[in-house]
A = this chain, B = another copy of it.
Amino acid sequence: MTRLLPAGAGDAAARPDFYPTTVRPGIGFTALSTDGNGRRGRITTAHGSVETPAFMPVGTQATVKAMTAEAVAATGAEIVLANAYHLMLRPGSERIAKLGGLHQFMNWSKSILTDSGGFQVMSLATLREVAENGVVFKSHLDGSRHELTPERSMAVQEQLGVDIAMALDECVRYPASEEDVRRAMRFTIAWAERARAAFPLLPGRGVFGIIQGGVDMTLRTECANAVTAIPFDGFALGGLAVGEGHEAMIAVVEHTTPLLPAAKPRYLMGVGKPEDIVAAVACGIDMFDCVLPTRSGRTNQAFTRRGEVNLRNARHADDPRPLDPDCGCPTCHGYARAYLHHLAKAEEMLGGILLTWHNVHYYQELMNGLRGAIVAGTLADFRAGFAEQRARGDLAPL
């Protein structure tokens, strides 16, 4: 079995030397404005500030797919998500530590949050055995056996040098039996305590606990009460956006968010579609991540104010207009729908590059709009306008 950590990786003496020492331990969070349950805040980490509500583009394998780090920054993103499970298997967290940490490795100077690996063990690994101590699984890459414990996941994330680490949790597939959901919740709580104890107090770095419990409100309450009793830097809702649908998801968010401390950031993991984000922000969620803008970009789907647009559709073949005339991204500034359609038909990489850039830009602009609406106290109007624009549908053909 591969040992993922060098001996002493949790010791301060063995800590990679890229950790700064001039910032106070943990991350900062300030709620600046509220509008209903929605809130506008600011997270501060060792790598700067993150205006919230924030969307984190997904950089699973230390790259936001099809974008340079410079392009990601140009969209306004202040934090990206990477994945501890993927990076510990390839290229290895020790290797990244020796190369100066994940920020330097992927040329990203702003904040990074890593998922702990709990979700990927559920969705990608084979032959996983979950026990009180942790998870034993086979790598999806080469079948090699690995053990992931709460302590090991924390140490991997510490080696990566991320700003926000996530406690190891157990995710269950949806739908799942009440017994499975309950067991996953219990492991998640027990592992959360061990994760917090294992992750050292580091300047400008923090660790978030995760609330599981499926769509069972009683379990969500029980989990929230237990996990929020642990001194985490923030709290996440996990186990959603796995097939339960918008209504069920938002019901869990509405139920659980008030159980989380107002003084800490709240993160809805793996969410989501623009309409999911808008609804969850109104519930008081501060952080999001989702593969949709990047994955859709590579399959010729664009997000616009007027809904989703499929660039392979022949209606765009002669259309000289940009995807969205009001969008300020480089794709909408320089390229017509007809060209994006041509790239899609010709299966040219530039199609995925331009649409990913646009989609990530769209998500950042959506968050910017939500932040502005909360400050102005017009979140309800923003939501109505958002729904109305989408209901109109795409531009009429010329």
Contacts and interface: CB of A to CB of B under 8 A. Distances in A.
A354 interface: yes
Chain B CB within 10 Å, residue with most, of A98, A334, A342? A342
A99 interface: yes
A259 to B, nearest CB: 38
A349 B65 contact: yes
A317 interface: yes
Nearest to A331: B68
Interface in A82-140: 90-91, 95, 98-100, 104-107
B330 A63 contact: no
Q: How many copies does the complex hold?
A: 2
Chain B CB within 10 Å, residue with most, of A317, A318, A334, A341? A334
A346 B106 CA distance: 14
B105 A350 contact: no
A348 B65 contact: yes
A339 interface: yes
Contacts of A67: 350
Interface in A42-86: 61-63, 65-70
Nearest to A98: B318
Contacts of A280: none
Contact of A95 (B100, B107, B317): B317
A340 to B, nearest CB: 11
Contacts of A61: 342, 346, 348
A350 B99 contact: no
A353 interface: yes
B346 A90 contact: yes
Nearest to A319: B99
B66 A342 contact: no
Nearest to A105: B339
Contacts of A95: 317-318, 338
A18 interface: no
A63 B343 contact: yes
A338 B90 contact: no
A349 B352 contact: yes
A341 B106 CA distance: 12
A99 B342 CA distance: 12
A336 interface: yes
A330 B105 CA distance: 14
Nearest to A346: B61
A353 B91 contact: no
A350 B91 contact: no
Nearest to A348: B63
Contacts of A174: none
A98 B335 CA distance: 15
A145 interface: no
B339 A90 contact: no
Given A91-B345, A105-B336, 19 more contacts: A61-B346, A61-B348, A62-B339, A65-B348, A65-B350, A66-B353, A68-B350, A68-B353, A70-B334, A91-B338, A91-B341, A91-B342, A95-B317, A99-B336, A100-B320, A105-B342, A107-B335, A298-B349, A349-B349
17 contacts: A61-B348, A63-B346, A63-B350, A65-B350, A66-B350, A68-B330, A68-B350, A91-B342, A95-B317, A95-B318, A99-B320, A99-B336, A99-B339, A105-B336, A105-B338, A107-B335, A107-B339
